[in-house]
Amino acid sequence: MPTPVLELADVTVRRGATVLLDQVTWVVREGERWVVLGPNGAGKTTLLQIASAQLFPSSGLVGVLGELMGTVDVFELRPRIGLTSAALADKIPRQELVRDVVVSAAYGVTGRWREQYDDLDHERADDLLREVGVAHLAARTFGTLSEGERKRVQVARALMTDPELLLLDEPAAGLDLGGREDLVSTLSTLAHDPDAPATVLVSHHVEEIPPGFTHALLLKQGRVVAEGPVDEVLTEQQLSATFGMPLTLTHADGRWAARRDVRHR
Ligand SMILES: Nc1ncnc2c1ncn2[C@@H]1O[C@H](COP(=O)(O)OP(=O)(O)OP(=O)(O)O)[C@@H](O)[C@H]1O
């Protein structure tokens, strides 16, 4: 069986009387591509904060890339993890050149300052921008890009350090239909690349699951409703339980779609 890159055992996160994550047990292994689905407030971002070594649980054990959280220097661990999130995107200066947005990830900074980058870093940044389909934007400033273009630049940035674990928090949020489809196709290409890192994608929508994703975790009110191979987890019954309404679910040409089941209205 492939090596685990992320292991959560009975992980609970509390803030005062509120339970954000409730005894979550989950293992992600090398080569796997996971989607984490759940309604607003389910705890998805909290789960990614744990997975990216940004947050310690109130109780339970977390293993990231073979290291037990609490016994390891998180500043050594974080560069081995690629992360995209709205919070990180907000930190990218709008006047920054796209190529520099990507290359500066190698140094763990946002905003090019006084770092010296070598030619190899620039070549790698250009390769990654090509991989996500925005090579032609390398010399533009980040602030001039469309939301969809920005999302793809963020994926390239997250891949710059050659991470062993890639975490994408709602990368399709705010995209129009074309932007979403472009991103889904980029992520699908990545999912099929055997050299790509183990990936976890957080989303609200089954329509955003890229073909090639292998596993799913359904989260509701901080609890795991179901987790495992995507075909076993994504059933009408389990999705309806997760989102708290009767849903019909279709799967065609590798893509999923869900809508309210009108027969139950
Ligand atoms: N410091 C805090 N104190 C109390 N409750 C909190 C705190 N931080 C987060 N929460 C709550 O924890 C729950 C889970 O938040 P989280 O951001 O992980 O959910 P999410 O699934 O990512 O939601 P969304 O889909 O809306 O982004 C939410 O109900 C949120 O209001």
Interval between CA 107 and ligand 1 midpoint (Å) = 30
227 within some domain: yes
- Taking only the tens place, the pLDDT of each residue in 163-191 is 999 999 998 888 888 888 988 999 999 99
CA dist., res. 22 & res. 41, Å (int): 13
204 within some domain: yes
State the angle between helix axes of 147-159 and 119-131 in degrees (0 to 180), rounded to the nearest 10: 130
Average pLDDT, the chain: 92
153 within some domain: no
113 within some domain: no
Mutate to test the pocket of ligand 1, among 46, 220, 243 (most ligand atoms within 8 A of CB): 46
Tokens representing 177? 């239909």
Which ligand 1 atom is nearest residue 48's CA?
Answer: 18
* CATH number of the CATH domain containing 258: 3.40.50.300
133 within some domain: no
Tokens representing 34? 């996971």
- Taking only the tens place, the pLDDT of each residue in 237-257 is 999 999 999 999 999 999 999
pTM for this entry? 0.92
Domain residue limits at 260: 4-85+165-264
114 within some domain: no
CA dist., res. 75 & res. 200, Å (int): 21
CA dist., res. 52 & res. 241, Å (int): 28
- Taking only the tens place, the pLDDT of each residue in 110-151 is 655 555 667 788 899 999 999 888 999 999 999 999 988 999
146 within some domain: no
List the helix and strand counts (H, then E) for the chain: 9, 12
Neighbours of 89 (CB within 10 A): 19
pLDDT of residue 188: 96
Which ligand 1 atom is nearest residue 43's CA?
Answer: 18
Cα 99 to the center of its chain, rounded Å = 22
ipTM over 0.90: yes
Interval between CA 6 and ligand 1 midpoint (Å) = 21
Interval between CA 256 and ligand 1 midpoint (Å) = 26
Tokens representing 11? 């992980």
CA dist., res. 220 & res. 215, Å (int): 17
Number of compact structural domains in the chain: 1
107 within some domain: no
